[in-house]
Amino acid sequence: MLRAIVDQIRLTWHLIRDPRVPLWAKAIPIIGVLYVLSPIDIIPDMIIGLGQLDDLAIVLGGMRLFASVVPEHIVEEHRAEIAGKPLDIIQGTGYRVESEEKAKNH
């Protein structure tokens, strides 16, 4: 579970830095962080445990929502990069192509 959270944070960071991702979509995780920093809170942080859990849920939910509104081919490209498995993609199109190695094996 911790690995999934770290991967989601890394994915969000990669997507925010990608110029192909629309600016309006990049606002989603930023709004989540601003919520955590704001004094307005659904569950007050004085309630130990619950107060921090709602902040965590908002931030993680914002990151998941962000990834869901970004075009799928961009998300898959960054997920593969994070996992260390680069995809064979025609630059800037999102179309996957079969590598020469895979073609020889078929």
User: Residues 25-70: pLDDT tens digits?
Assistant: 999 999 999 988 888 777 776 777 777 888 888 999 999 999 999 9
The pLDDT score that the predictor gives to residue 38 is 85
What single DSSP character describes residue 22? Answer: -
pTM over 0.75: no
Q: Which domain holds residue 16?
A: 2-105
- Given a cut of 70, whether residue 74 has pLDDT beyond it is yes
User: Residues 86-95: pLDDT tens digits?
Assistant: 666 555 555 5
Of 2, 13, 15, 12, the C-alpha closest to 64 is 12
The residues, ordered by sequence, that sit 6+ positions from 21 with a Cβ below 8 Å of its Cβ are 15, 70, 74
59 with 33: CB under 8 angstroms? yes
Half-sphere exposure of 37 (CA within 13 A, CB side): 6
Counting the structural domains of the chain, the total is 1
- Given a cut of 70, whether residue 101 has pLDDT beyond it is no
